[in-house]
Amino acid sequence: MNKSFNSPLVTVFIPTYNVEKYVKRSIESIIQQTYSNLEIIIIDDGSTDRTVEIIKRINDKRIKVYMNSKNMGIPFTRQRGLDLATGKYFAVMDSDDLAVSDRIEKEVGILEDMPNIDIVSSDYKLFKERIKRVVKLHLSSAELKILLMFTCMICNPSTMFRLSKIKDNHIKYNPNYFVAQDYRFWADLSGSSNFYNIREPLLLYRTGHANISNVSRKHDGELRKRLIDQIHSDLLGQYGFKLNREQLKIFNTFFGERQKGQVPISLAKLVELRYSLIKQNRVFDSSDFARVLDFVITKKINNNYSSIYQVTVAYIKLVKNKNIVSLFMCIIKVLLNKVKEN
């Protein structure tokens, strides 16, 4: 990374809602960054605990605190943050996570050195009381766009992007997406933007508590599924994939949100869908597309079955009488990891 870049203003946006246990440490992790030219915008969305009181006790002239008149929800609050931002770059930060001290410096360095990159993110560490594991996403921009067609694995609170890209393309947070608003946002940006993921963990992502992602999964499951299905449909169309009604149903059932009591899809149908997607691909490198598709398929199967036996049986059915080399290699890796876990 070129250390000689100028120090453009970075807006760090932190939405808050009833996070009195975590917000002080989260804000301090931003205040103590090695990169100092920051505008720290904090918007509280109607907290009923001591969150606002704690924030106002933090003395740093870079902090700007705003309060919604009532609880408006995360899409409204995130959009308000975008509208208030004056920085060249916009860094997302959640009020219960912790940023590594040089996160902002490294992300600014990428965006300054690589003008073709619009959105930068990083690997991250899952933690509760202690570090659980490191989550890595070592994919190219094209591979990340492919991945978005099936699922969103971008760590939202590790991201930074060019504010001009958002404004020039009139991208906004969709108010209808009370859940998956970040997935929708990245999907809308993906057609006009390039991604870059830094291959080191620059964020500690807190788990095991009632954060926004966990709460949203517990409520309005059917509506959440419809919203994510719509993202899938839009991205498939954006990249020229045409699925019939049955194929789209299989796609959304397998790659979408798993519903309680959901009947498993036929693995034979999944193989047919895989073949159709690979055949229709005209935008992405064929090897990249197949590799990412097979990665997502194996990840989904691994998450849906609890035992090594169940996973193995599912994979045997999936590849039976099929010459699917890349999928087979993904399967071997997942099975080896499954054995280690047990």
Pair type for strands 10-16 and 89-92:
parallel
81-85, 255-259, 262-266, 287-291: which is most confident: 81-85
* Radius of gyration, CA atoms only, the chain: 21
The residue that leads in pLDDT, 333 or 122, is 122
Distance CA 22, CA 191 (A): 35
Q: What is the C-alpha separation between 310 and 315, in angstroms, rounded?
A: 9
Q: How confident is the model at residue 335 (pLDDT cuts 50, 70, 90)?
A: low
Q: Is 199 strand, coil or helix? A: strand
DSSP string, 46-102: ---SSHHHHHHT---TTEEEEE-SS---HHHHHHHHHHH--SSEEEE--TT-EE-TT
pLDDT of residue 4: 44
- pLDDT, tens digit, for every residue of 228-242? 999 999 999 999 999
205 backbone dihedrals φ, ψ, rounded to 5°:
-100, 115
In eight-state DSSP terms, residue 266 is P
- pLDDT above 90 covers a percentage of the chain that reads 70
Q: How distant, in Å, are the alpha carbons of 17, 25, 55, 103, 129 from that of 22?
A: 11, 6, 11, 19, 12
Q: Is the pLDDT of residue 339 over 60?
A: no
Mapped onto helix, strand or coil, the DSSP state of residue 122 is: strand
Identify the CA nearest to 294 among candidates 330, 255, 264, 243.
Answer: 330
Does the predicted TM-score (pTM) go above 0.85? yes
Q: Which of 269, 227, 223 is nearest to 249 (CA)?
A: 269
**What pLDDT, on a 0 to 100 scale, did the predictor assign at position 313?**
62
Q: Is the pLDDT of residue 328 over 70?
A: no
Residue 340's pLDDT is what?
Answer: 54
Does residue 142 carry a pLDDT above 60? yes
pLDDT tens digits, residue range 279-301?
999 999 999 999 999 889 888 87
Residue 2 has pLDDT above 50, yes or no: no
* Position 5 confidence tier, pLDDT thresholds 50, 70, 90: low
Q: What is the pLDDT of residue 93?
A: 98
Tokens of 324: 């699917």
Q: What is the Cα–Cα distance from 240 to 252, expressed in whole angstroms?
A: 17
pLDDT at residue 196 tops 80: yes
> What is the average pLDDT across 191-197?
97
Amino acid at 80: R
Which phi and psi (to 5°) does residue 42 adopt?
-115, 125
Specify the higher pLDDT residue, 218 or 101.
Answer: 101
Task: Assign 1 a pLDDT band (cuts: 50, 70, 90).
Answer: very low
Kindly tell me if the per-residue pLDDT of 336 is higher than 90.
no
Instruction: With a cut of 60, say whether residue 306 has pLDDT above it.
Output: no
Q: What is the pLDDT of residue 88?
A: 98
Question: How much is the pLDDT for 259?
Answer: 64
CB 205 within 8 Å of CB 97: yes
Average predicted confidence (pLDDT) for the chain? 87
Q: Which two tokens stand for residue 163?
A: 């504010």
Q: How far apart are CA 230 and CA 42, in angstroms?
A: 31
**Three-state DSSP state, 228:** helix
User: Cα 226–144–91 angle (5° rounding)?
Assistant: 85
pLDDT reported for residue 185: 97
* 327: helix, strand or coil: helix
